[in-house]
Structure 1
């Protein structure tokens, strides 16, 4: 059964397609099929099907090194630049924040919540104006704010960080209860209740 197009990115046929393109086009990396499947959290057969469609469309190119198949964006495709611009807005926050926050010491968990996460997880509603980021740990707050400013400039939406210590994140406040009950997107280390509670990325096919 064909999955529905993602609410944030209705121009893409599925969430799987948007995720794969984000991992390949935004950092501009060349990845093996296995690496790509691990990064997007999708089964290998799903990745294989989506990559085959994108190769047929000319948006990706592949090559073999021994028995390893490597794929990347096709620099000769006129669709590459506009596709990348769309991805920066709709899925770029996840990829860019993950890459940048890995360089900030003291972060135990980081995830998106609020309207952006809800739309990305398929909940209907108005387009999000900004992006809510929760950071749990003991990082340098200025480093987190700097990352958020840089990503905001890249994706065209303001990233609003909330920084909490692990102890504060365990409190039973109305705000935290609402966050725990709402869709989230893992960025680093897990969701609001820790790694085991994070729902991961839904499969598309």
Structure 2
């Protein structure tokens, strides 16, 4: 099934293509197509077709290790660097924040909410000015803010963290009810109310 072009970067042919490219170009990882499909949230056949297109265009490269094809960015391509810059701004927050938060203990889950999450999920509206991220757990607060500052520099938008314990997040309030009923994109773990 073909998806629409992503609202945050409509220059890509589909949201799936943007997620696949983000997974490879923003992390620098070398992945099998199976692992790439899982990380990008795509069905294997979709990932396989996109990889074939991007290999043919010279944007990705591959190498064989035993029976496994490993796929990565083709750093010889003049398109990789500008694509990486576009992806960093458009889809980078999820990838960058996931990497940053992975090194912080006691984060149970983290997710984007608000206008940036809405655009990522295809909800129409103006371009977001900032990125709202909710962190659930009892992490070192300074470490979370430092991670968000590094992500902010990379994605060129303010990153606004809200840190709550699971008990605080479970409480009823107008703000939290809006967050739970609004668009959200998981960064670490599952969305805590779904």
* Shift, 1:118, TM fit: 0.1
Give the distance between the partners of 2:62 and 2:166, measured in 1 at CA: 43
Cross-structure match for 2:168? 168
> What is the rounded CA distance, in whole Å, between the counterparts of 1:147 and 1:161 in structure 2?
10
Structure 2 residue matching 1:142: 3-state secondary structure: helix
1:163-202 pair list within 5 angstroms: 163-193=163-193, 197=194
- Tell me, yes or no, if the aligned pair for 1:111 and 1:133 is still in contact at 8 Å: yes
Corresponding residue number in structure 2 for 1:126: 126
Q: Provide the C-alpha distance between the structure 2 equivalents of 1:192 and 1:29, rounded to a whole number of angstroms.
A: 28
Aligned equivalents of 2:30, 2:189: Cα separation in 1: 24
**1:56 aligned residue:** 56
Which deviates the most, 143-152 or 57-66?
57-66
Preserved CA contact (<8 Å) 1:109 1:135? yes
Moved over 2 A (4+): none
- The structural deviation recorded for 1:130 is 0.3
Matches within 5 A, 1:137-152: 137-152=137-152
Residue 43 of structure 1 and its aligned partner are, at CA, apart by 1.2
5 Å-filtered alignment, 1:14-163, equals 14-163=14-163
Distance 2:191 2:176 in 1: 12
Q: 1:51 to 1:93 in 2, by over 3 A?
A: same
Paired with 2:148 and 2:116, the residues of 1 have a C-alpha distance of: 15
Work out the CA distance in 2 between the residues paired with 1:44 and 1:4: 18
Give CA deviations for 1:130-182 in whole Å, capped at 9, x if unaligned.
00000000001000000000000011001000000110000111111111111
Identify which range, 24-33 or 83-92, moves more after superposition. 24-33
- TM-score when scaled to structure 1? 0.92
How far off is 1:42 after superposition?
1.5
Alpha-carbon shift at residue 2 of structure 1 (Å): 3.1
User: Aligned residue pairs: how many?
Assistant: 194
